[in-house]
Structure 1
Amino acid sequence: MNIELLNVRIRLLQNAVTVDEIGNHKNSWQEYYSCYATVSAEGGKEETAAAQTVEADTIDFTLRYCRKAAALTSTGFRVEFAGEPYDITAVDHMNFKRKCIKLRCQKVRR
C-alpha cells in the first residue's frame, strides 16, 4: 500500500447513547478514531423512489489496517468527510491480509 495515496483526513464516528441532566436517553455520534484515507467517489448516480429523483452519492474510503479500524462495523459506525456524514454500507478487509480496509459509504440524507 502506497502511503502517499492516503491524503484525506476522515473521522470515524461511533453511535453511543447519552443521558442528559434529566435522564433522557438520546442517540448521538461521538468521535471514535481519526485517520488518513484514500477516497474514490462515484457521484452523479440517481435513484427514483416514490416518484422522486434522489441523488445517491457513494464513496469508497481505503485506510490502513489497525486495531481500531478492524473493529468497524456497518451498523455502529459512520464516516465524516469534508463536514458531511456518510453511513457505512459495507466493510471489506481486503482478503484479511491486515494491510488495508475498504469502507463503502453512502451520503446521509437529511
Structure 2
Amino acid sequence: MKIGNLKYRITFQILVATTNENGFDVETWVDHKIVWAAVSNLNGREYFAAAAVQAEKTVKFTVRFFKDITESMRISFDGKQYNITAIDNIKYANKFIEIKAMEVDISG
C-alpha cells in the first residue's frame, strides 16, 4: 500500500455513556480519532463471501497502524456510519490496518 492511496478522512467514534439533565443515562457516539484512509468496496471473493451473509453494504478501510482500535468503535465516513466487523493488522507488520465495516441502517 502506498501512502498516497490514503486520501479520505474518516473518523473513529466511541460510544460514551453520560447522564443528561434529568438524571437519565444516555449513550452517544463521540469522535475519538480522525485519520487518513483508503476506502474501497469489496470485490471478487470478498464480495461473494459477504453476500452469502447479506453483508453487501460492507466497505474496506485501510489506515496507518495505531494501537487503540477496537471492534466496539464505529467509523463515520461521507455522512454515513459503519460498524466495524473485522480488524486485520496486515502481515503483523504494524504499518497498515485493514478494517471491514458494515454500513449502519438508520431505519433500525
TM over 0.5: yes
Q: Which residue is equivalent to 1:89?
A: 85
Higher strand share: 1
Aligned length: 102
TM-score, with length taken from structure 1: 0.81
8 Å CA contact retained: 2:55, 2:102: no
Structure 1 range deviating more: 30-39 or 88-97: 88-97
Structure 2: unaligned runs, 5 residues or longer: none
RMSD of aligned alpha carbons: 2.4
Q: Alignment partner of 1:40: what SS?
A: strand
8 Å CA contact retained: 1:10, 1:81: yes
Q: 1:4-42, CA deviations, whole angstroms, 9 ceiling, x for partnerless residues?
A: 100001000011111111211011100000011001113
Higher helix share: 2
> Where do residues 1-110 of structure 1 align in structure 2 (5 Å cutoff)?
1-42=1-42, 56-66=56-66, 70-74=67-71, 76-110=72-106
Identity of aligned residues (%): 28
TM-score, with length taken from structure 2: 0.83
Structure 1: unaligned runs, 5 residues or longer: 48-53
